[in-house]
């Protein structure tokens, strides 16, 4: 349609202002500006919710003062239409000309159609933003809940204090080095934090025993991966994180528990975490034994490559140890 100038304004209800977000005059884009909600053409149309056509501003006059931008203030012909969806008004579109009697009723109808499409797009954008915010807030709540569960277990099992934080940092480093995709690392991290959640079902008499466990007690303790699966398996957002809590005691040669998985039957996340978990468990003091020296633990992990551990994971872990010292 004929127009030397074109404006799109958006209502900002939080600040009770209108932002002229798109201002073009004779093909040149001008900076956006903010005005009070009741001011100018935008304020008039947004407040009334009605379209407007002025054939000759000099003759017809106006109940509002135009907000000027561009090279000339000599606008004569004006079209304006609210961007409306139901009772919700998002802003307006306005086409303006330096010539009088430029626009027709057909032009006004066309602008109303464009404004209606724009309102739908803006509403979709608003809903999408709200959904993203809700999902982000829900994700934060999930993470805080998982970290809370992890801390609750550490408070119960005093000998593992700080264990979850340490193994999480090193496990993520190793997973990244192993090329685990970013989307999988999110679930992997949750699994690491929850790796011993099944121990919540283990009686204190066994979990907190200050001496070595009997064989019968070990049979009970070895059920904690299965308890983890029973506790979390029906929770949708955690289901993809169960590889570590359920499988981190499986062994590469098939001699692990609870299912006796072998080789690559064991999920990669569980194979990665198994190495890190053993490293941290052996290097720190326990009530029934002192911690091992780092070089001794390193030698043990290398010796168990191909039986307890995935050889490829062990090689990458040793490479990390050669680069950084983790204690």
As a 3-state breakdown, the chain gives helix, strand, coil percent values, each rounded to 5, of 50, 15, 30
Q: Quick one: 249 and 283 in the same domain? A: yes
Mean pLDDT of 37-60: 87
> Do the strands 17-25 and 5-12 form a parallel or antiparallel pair, or are they unpaired?
antiparallel
What local confidence, expressed as pLDDT, does residue 12 receive?
92
Phi, psi of 236 (to 5 degrees): -55, -45
- Domain-located, residue 261: yes
Domain of residue 174 covers: 157-323
Q: Quick one: 212 and 88 in the same domain? A: no
Structural domain total, the chain: 2
- Kindly list the distances between the CA atom of residue 121 and the CA atoms of 8, 104, 126, 186, in Å, as whole numbers in the listed order: 14, 26, 9, 32
The DSSP call for residue 110 is H
Q: Quick one: 112 and 164 in the same domain? A: no
Q: Quick one: 115 and 240 in the same domain? A: no
Mean pLDDT of 76-89: 90
Q: Quick one: 105 and 196 in the same domain? A: no
Helix, strand, or coil (residue 120): helix
Q: Which of 199, 209, 240, 262 is catalytic?
A: 199
- Domain-located, residue 144: no
- Domain-located, residue 184: yes
- Domain-located, residue 43: yes
In the numeric block, which tokens belong to residue 279? 């490293």
Q: Quick one: 11 and 72 in the same domain? A: yes
The DSSP call for residue 297 is H
Quick one: residue 269, left, alpha or beta (phi over 0 = left, psi -120 to 50 = alpha)? Answer: alpha
- Kindly list the distances between the CA atom of residue 158 and the CA atoms of 163, 206, 210, 286, in Å, as whole numbers in the listed order: 10, 13, 11, 10
> Angle at CA 285, nearest 5°, toward 283 and 290?
95
CATH code (residue 83):
3.30.450.40
- Domain-located, residue 137: no
- Domain-located, residue 98: yes
- Closest among 56, 58, 63 to 78, alpha carbons compared: 56
Mean pLDDT of 273-290: 86
- Domain-located, residue 310: yes
In the numeric block, which tokens belong to residue 16? 């009770």
* Torsion sign over Cα 246, 310, 327, 257: positive
Q: Quick one: 57 and 180 in the same domain? A: no
Q: Quick one: 106 and 184 in the same domain? A: no
* Residue 18: Cβ within 10 Å count: 26
Q: Quick one: 122 and 176 in the same domain? A: no
pTM: 0.61
Q: Quick one: 194 and 287 in the same domain? A: yes
- Element (DSSP H or E) covering residue 273: helix 268-283
What local confidence, expressed as pLDDT, does residue 327 receive?
47
CATH code (residue 271):
1.10.3210.10
What local confidence, expressed as pLDDT, does residue 114 receive?
93
What local confidence, expressed as pLDDT, does residue 252 receive?
97
Per residue in 113-133, pLDDT (tens digit) is 999 999 999 999 888 888 888
Q: Quick one: 233 and 171 in the same domain? A: yes
- 161 has pLDDT over 60: no
- Domain-located, residue 72: yes
Task: Decide if 88 is catalytic.
Answer: no
Indicate the pLDDT class of residue 73, thresholds 50, 70 and 90: low
Q: Quick one: 193 and 251 in the same domain? A: yes
Highest average pLDDT, of 203-217, 232-246, 267-281, 284-298, comes from 267-281
Domain final residue, candidates 131, 146, 176: 131
Residue corresponding to tokens 């169960």? 242
* Residue-averaged pLDDT of the chain: 88
Residue corresponding to tokens 């000998």? 159
Q: Which of 23-27, 32-36, 63-67, 198-202 has the lowest mean pLDDT?
A: 63-67
């Amino acid at each position: 349609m004929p127009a030397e100038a074109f404006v799109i304004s958006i209502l900002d209800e939080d600040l009770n202002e209108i932002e002229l977000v798109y201002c073009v005059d004779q093909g040149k884009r001008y900076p956006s500006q903010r005005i009070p909600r009741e001011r100018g053409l935008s304020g008039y149309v947004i407040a009334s919710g009605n379209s407007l056509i002025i054939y000759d501003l000099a003759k017809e006059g106006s109940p509002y003062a135009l907000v000027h931008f561009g090279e000339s203030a000599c606008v004569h012909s004006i079209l304006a239409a609210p961007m409306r969806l139901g009772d919700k008004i998002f802003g307006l579109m306005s086409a303006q000309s330096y010539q009088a009697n430029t626009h027709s009723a057909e032009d006004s109808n066309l602008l109303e159609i464009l404004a209606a499409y724009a309102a739908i797009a803006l509403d979709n954008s608003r809903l999408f933003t709200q959904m993203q915010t809700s999902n982000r807030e829900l994700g934060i709540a999930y993470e805080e809940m998982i970290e809370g569960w992890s801390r609750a277990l550490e408070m119960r099992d005093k000998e593992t204090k700080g264990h979850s934080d340490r193994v999480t940092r090193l496990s993520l480093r190793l997973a990244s080095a192993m090329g685990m995709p970013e989307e999988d690392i999110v679930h992997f991290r949750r699994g690491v934090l929850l790796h011993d959640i099944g121990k919540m079902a283990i009686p204190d008499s066994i979990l907190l025993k200050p001496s070595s466990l009997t064989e019968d007690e070990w049979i009970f303790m070895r059920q904690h991966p299965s308890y983890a699966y029973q506790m979390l398996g029906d929770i949708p957002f955690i289901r993809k994180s169960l590889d570590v809590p359920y499988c981190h005691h499986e062994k590469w040669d098939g001699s692990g528990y609870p299912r006796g998985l072998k080789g690559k039957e064991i999920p990669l996340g569980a194979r990665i975490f198994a190495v890190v978990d053993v490293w941290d468990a052996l290097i720190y003091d326990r009530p029934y034994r002192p911690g091992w020296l780092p070089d001794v633990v390193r030698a043990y992990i290398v010796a168990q490559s191909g039986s307890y551990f995935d050889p490829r994971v062990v090689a990458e872990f040793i490479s990390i140890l050669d680069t950084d010292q983790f204690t």
